[in-house]
Amino acid sequence: MADRIIVYWRDIPAQVIIKQGRKTAKRELTLRFTEAIDMCAMRTGAADSGDYLAEWRKADPTPVSDDLELEADKAAAELEAAYDKERLVALVKSGGKDNG
């Protein structure tokens, strides 16, 4: 079994990692996620590199199938669908914290 790990800045997802032993498949989410993270960092005063870096975290691994590329594509698509424009705007307004 492989593991799915989502990388977040605060509660805004940025990347999907599917890992099995030394093999990995990674998917960076689209530019709108990066823009939301950057906007939020500027608004909250976390633009300083130390503060900014301290907010990155990895979610606990979740078991997935051994098809790393398929699982990476699937997880990225699910996050893209789950975080529409309105949800990302709400996250930026709340300082990057998911209050829901």
pLDDT confidence of residue 46: 83
At 40 the pLDDT is 94
How many domains, in total, are found in the chain? 1
pLDDT of residue 4: 99
User: Which residue stretches of the chain have pLDDT < 70?
Assistant: 47, 100
Q: Who's near 29: CB < 8 A, 6+ residues apart?
A: 13, 14, 15, 16, 76, 79, 80
In whole numbers, what is the pLDDT of the chain averaged over residues?
A: 95
Within-domain flag for 10 = yes
Residue 43 lies in a domain: yes
pLDDT at 49: 79
Measured CA to CA, the distance from residue 79 to residue 90 in angstroms comes to 16
3-state SS assignment for residue 21:
coil
Domain that holds residue 15: 2-93
**What angle is formed at CA 74 by the lines to CA 95 and CA 17, rounded to 5 degrees?**
60
Tell me what pLDDT residue 53 has.
92
pTM for this one? 0.93
Residue 100 lies in a domain: no
